[in-house]
Amino acid sequence: MSALWKANQRRIAPWLFLAPGLFMFMIYVIIPIFQSIWVSFYDWDGLGAARWIGTANYIELVDDDAFYTSLKNNVIWLVLYMLAVPAGLMIAIFLNQTISGMRLYKSLFFFPFVISQVVVGLMFSWFYAPNFGLFYNLLEWLTGKGTAVLADDRYVTYGIIAAGLWPQIAYVMILYLTGLNNVAPDQVEAARLDGAKGWRMLWYVILPQLRPATFIAVVVTVIGALRSFDLVSIMTNGGPYGSSRVLSFYMYEQALSEYGYRMGYGAAIAVVLFAIMMIFISGFIWKMWRDETER
Amino acid sequence: MVHLAKGALALTAALLLSTAASAQQRVLKYNADYDPIPLAAMEALIADFEAANPDIDVQLNNFDHEGYKTAIRNFLTADAPDLANWYAGNRMAPFVAAGQFMDVSDVWESAGLGDDLASAKASMTIDGKQWGVPYTYYQWGIYFNKDAYAAAGAEVPTTWAEFVSNCEKFAAAGVDCLTTGSKALWPIAGIFDYLSLRTNGYEWHMDLTAGKVEWTDPKVKAVFAEWAKILPYTTANHAAIDWQDAAALLVQGKAANYVMGNFAVGTFKEGGMTNENLGFMIFPEITPGIPRAEEAPTDTIHIPAGAKNVEDAKAFLAFVASAEAQTKWNTAVGQLPTNKNSSVPADDPFLVAGFEALSGAYALAQFFDRDAPAEMAKVGMEGFQEFMVKPDNVDAILDRLEKARARIYK
């Protein structure tokens, strides 16, 4: 026994250290993924007996208008949420100065990320609320006619995304602020001596050094956009008439909400969402792996 | 080590003592979803029950009202209590079909409930058996602001035509004729139900919610045609507000009428309305001669199939069904007892009116989301909301509902 240990210590030890993490990861992530895929082939109300229906859930999904609405909204989320990256960068550069009290300003800008998403959602729904909401009254004052953003299927998704961008920008900002701390001052000095400033300085000197921060910012923003659920749930509950649903919310609605008893159908939506996420995640992993091996 | 052993001994002794204490009492676990006022009323009722049965200890485990609707699915299968709150009609069908609720026909039999609770029996019956006991219901109808009527110079209507023509008077006075908040969807299902019951009658409405009528049927279109008459006079941004926000509009006199359940009276009165300026009327007749059916959602208590103390749970159901217990609970909460031998406080005009409305009704519907299966209820209410915002889409909406019907009721 001890001879075996001695001979293979270097090979076994890492696995022993990884074991607890791997165990948890298997139980809470890997196995549920396969269970969800399995459930998506059943007609099951979550209570009684499950009935195997093959791919019927997926066939229904292809013909489901609500599914396409959710998918379209997910794409809008993904595209508009990306605004958080340049916006966060701008604020980070703006705040990256040495003025007395700067820490206070930085923490104030970071504040929205500290607030729970639920609170952000509530604040914005009051902001948009007809009759007394600030934004509603502003529109009424400007155009003479108020628009209840959250009751209008044309604007509702954009209204929710605006609420989501607020904390997301703060998050990206903090990522860039730490990144800016690591920008090599000698390179900036050298660039100055060569006469670089303004946009050229940003584009050719600062941004390349911020690449790791940009990578993380894009990753968290993509994932944040795809799993957007709490804001939709708090602000509109998917309404009006389902026009602000996203895939994660639609899945919850079908499987677990007050009127949802379709575990199989919900699981099928989850599988589609998982497939979409997999595209991005494998892209990210591939890039990370490439960077690691190049080094 | 010695200290540890001593500690362990003391702990074991303490555990033994506590089990000894509770061994004299049988525990009855009850999961419920009460708001503060009903909770206090139920606690008073439980105290009465425990006083009459000193050997039973009822442990009430109260959930948040909305959270309960999803939590019940977990605790029924994972950790079943002995009693659980739920709703009558199709709303309990998934649990009955899955064998999660216990057949309590014997309680109905032995306590003679079939007669006392006759009005609610049909909604508690699936496959000829009763699956729980109703303890309260409440009427729906139109609550109106008398001051708004006076200001607009409108008379309280007795027919649908009068109601619609009143709307023009309210519009001239800058008041919403009808208010509602459809953010949570269900308030508008009350409007649909009444329009449907008054246009085509109870049997037809029940066939519709049971999936026997096509949603593209001309009679369905007739219901929506009636609805379209009042849409221009309905609160514009209803999709963005909750029912409480709409209640505020009625209280402030910015709206005249509100199709609501009697539970809203408390909210109206908190807002400053009194019996003087808050009025209640039965939803007016649309098609002449149709027997008047009313909406009366029933709240119920059930015994989960996994209950451990079935004997005492049944005793508790019989107690809650009794006339005295229902009088006490419903008087405290301001709702109507389902037991016909119970009494209604005479000084509450809304309860008296509700009692008259329901006892004189031809039949009682539960509510759209309790009469129709859950999926159909959800799709249907979304369709109603879309119709209210975009009445021109009615054909597309009805096609969608028909597609859902074909899938859901097979």
pLDDT value for B20: 45
Greater pLDDT, A71 or B21: A71
Q: pLDDT tens digits, residue range A182-209? A: 888 888 889 888 888 888 888 888 898 9
What does the block give as tokens for B179? 């208010």
pLDDT value for A57: 92
Show the domain range for A256. 65-294
Comparing CA positions, the residue from B214, B393, B87, B257 lying closest to residue A240 is B393
Q: pLDDT tens digits, residue range A141-195? A: 998 888 888 888 899 999 999 999 999 999 999 999 999 988 888 888 898 888 8
Residue B230 dihedral angles phi and psi, to the nearest 5°: -100, -5
Q: pLDDT tens digits, residue range B86-115? A: 998 888 888 898 889 999 999 998 888 888
Yes or no: domain B140-295+373-408 corresponds to CATH 3.40.190.10: yes
Out of B66, B94, B241, whose CB is closest to A45? B94
Give me the amino acid identity at B10: A
Comparing CA positions, the residue from A222, A224, A207 lying closest to residue A285 is A222
Task: Please state the ipTM of this predicted complex.
Answer: 0.81
Q: Is residue A29 part of a domain?
A: no
Greater pLDDT, B286 or A295: B286
- Helix (H, G, I), strand (E, B), or coil: what is residue B8? helix
Q: Is residue A205 part of a domain?
A: yes
**Gyration radius of chain B over CA positions:** 24
Out of B70, B99, B386, whose CB is closest to A258? B70
Q: Which residues of B touch A (CB under 8 A)?
A: 66, 69-70, 73, 76-77, 94-95, 97-100, 182-185, 236-241, 369, 374-375, 377-378, 382-383, 385-386, 389, 400, 407
pLDDT value for A110: 87
Contacts of B97 in chain A (CB under 8 A): 47-48
pLDDT value for B3: 52
Length of chain B: 410
Q: Is residue A234 part of a domain?
A: yes
Q: Is residue A162 part of a domain?
A: yes
Q: Is residue A58 part of a domain?
A: no
pLDDT value for B257: 95
Strand partners, B59: B29
Q: Best residue in B77, B183, B399 to probe A by mutation, most A CBs within 10 Å?
A: B183
Q: Which helix (H) or strand (E) holds B144?
A: strand B140-145
Out of A45, A237, A242, whose CB is closest to B183? A237
pLDDT value for B364: 85
Q: Residue A259's domain is classified under what CATH number?
A: 1.10.3720.10
Task: Answer yes or no: are the C-beta atoms of B55 and B49 closer than 8 Å.
Answer: no
Out of B77, B94, B382, whose CB is closest to A242? B382
Encode chain B (410 residues) as per-residue pLDDT tens digits: 445 555 554 555 544 444 444 456 889 999 999 888 889 999 999 999 999 999 999 999 999 887 888 889 889 988 899 999 999 888 888 889 888 999 999 999 888 888 888 878 888 888 889 999 999 989 999 999 999 999 998 999 989 999 999 999 999 999 999 999 988 889 999 999 999 999 999 989 999 998 999 999 999 999 999 999 999 999 988 988 889 889 999 999 999 999 999 888 888 998 999 999 999 999 999 999 999 999 989 899 999 999 999 999 999 999 999 999 999 999 888 888 988 888 888 888 999 899 888 888 888 888 998 888 888 999 999 999 999 999 999 999 999 999 999 988 87
- The count of domains in chain A is 1
Q: Is residue A110 part of a domain?
A: yes
Question: Distance from A53 to chain B by nearest Cα, in Å?
Answer: 14
Indicate yes or no: CB of A48 within 8 angstroms of CB of B99.
Answer: yes
Q: Which residues of A touch B (CB under 8 A)?
A: 45-48, 60, 65, 128-131, 148-151, 153, 236-237, 239-242, 253, 256-262
Residues of chain B with CATH 3.40.190.10: 24-136+298-352, 140-295+373-408
Q: Is residue A4 part of a domain?
A: no
Task: Answer yes or no: are the C-beta atoms of B283 and B139 closer than 8 Å.
Answer: no
Q: Which helix (H) or strand (E) holds B261?
A: strand B255-261
| Peptide bond preceding A240 in cis form (omega within 30 of 0) | yes
pLDDT value for A271: 95
Q: Which CATH class is domain B24-136+298-352?
A: alpha beta
pLDDT value for B220: 95
Q: Is residue A37 part of a domain?
A: no
